[in-house]
Amino acid sequence: MREEDLAGAVEAILFVSSEPVTVQQISDALQGQATPPQILDILEGLQTLYSRMSLGLEVRRVAEGFQFVTRPAHGTFVKNFLKAQNLRKLSPAAVEALAIVAYKQPVTNAEVSAIRGTESGQVLKGLLEKKLIRIAGRRNVVGKPLLYATTKEFLVHFGLNSLDDLPSFRELEEIFREGVRQESLFKEVEAEEKRRAGKALEEGAGASEALDENLFSEASSHEDDTPAGLQEKPEGGEDFGDGEVKEGENEG
């Protein structure tokens, strides 16, 4: 394998690994196509290349291995991106539990679970990992359960200056009622549109029936107005023009 291809293979291995990769691991992956000293030279060359080009990534020697990491100068932007991604990944259950903690804090797991009607331990654990809630002590009751409260990160993520900026229960109730009223209004408008459409169809059907009846009446009237000379002759006789039909008579 050419040296350029070897360098590309080593770079690809570093890229797909989430953990530091040792020289021996790379050597095993290359199945003996490069010696450990050659692999080490390639890794050090990649370090120099990425450092010189000032790219968003760099190759760093970590825990007796090598790993791709983001450049420290770009760390703030990467953190902002990851925070946004973490918020987008909040499940409906997590949002529900977070709202309960925000309005009832400090609150225990049992209290959150009682309000939600289901066990909430795993959900609260996930919110702790995202640093949206924190352990705020223990309640002084039997078992001394942990108390949960929101964090500064919670305020930052939701654009709040303090917990006082949270909507009040009355405001939430008004928003909910307005949403219900709008939904009800939409249903009323939809029902009215359906009623009008049905009425238009009925009127259209009635007009069609009236038109058919008029056409039938006109056709019957035309039949009555047909001149006598054009009317159909009866079978077995001749029409002499005076409306009298003589049967069984021959000329002469």
Q: Which residue, 112, 138, 165, sits at the end of a domain?
A: 165
Within a domain: residue 222?
A: no
- CB distance 22 to 65 below 8 Å: yes
pLDDT score of 4 more than 50: yes
pLDDT score of 219 more than 60: no
Q: What is the pLDDT of residue 194?
A: 64
Tens digits of residue pLDDT in 148-162 = 999 988 887 777 778
Q: Which residue, 22, 37, 70, sits at the end of a domain?
A: 70
Q: What is the pLDDT of residue 128?
A: 92
- Say whether both 22 and 41 belong to one domain: yes
- CB distance 114 to 107 below 8 Å: no
Within a domain: residue 60?
A: yes
- Say whether both 139 and 198 belong to one domain: no
Beta bridge partners of 65: 62
- Say whether both 108 and 147 belong to one domain: yes
DSSP single-letter state for residue 21: B
Q: What is the pLDDT of residue 186?
A: 47
Q: Say how many domains are in the chain.
A: 3
- Say whether both 175 and 134 belong to one domain: no
- Say whether both 88 and 160 belong to one domain: yes
- Say whether both 27 and 58 belong to one domain: yes
Residue 17, both tokens: 């690994």
Q: What is the pLDDT of residue 73?
A: 84
| Full domain range(s) for residue 136 | 80-165
Q: What is the pLDDT of residue 57?
A: 87
Mean pLDDT to the nearest integer, 5-12: 88
- Say whether both 86 and 101 belong to one domain: yes
Task: Give the least confident one: 59-68, 77-86, 241-250.
Answer: 241-250
- Say whether both 25 and 88 belong to one domain: no
Tens digits of residue pLDDT in 117-130 = 999 999 999 899 88
> What is the CATH number for 160?
1.10.10.10
End-to-end CA distance of the chain: 128
- Ranges of beta strands (E only) in the chain are 57-62, 65-70, 107-108, 133-138, 146-150, 238-239, 245-246
Within a domain: residue 103?
A: yes
pTM above 0.75, yes or no: no
Tens digits of residue pLDDT in 49-72 = 888 887 888 888 877 789 888 888
Within a domain: residue 11?
A: yes
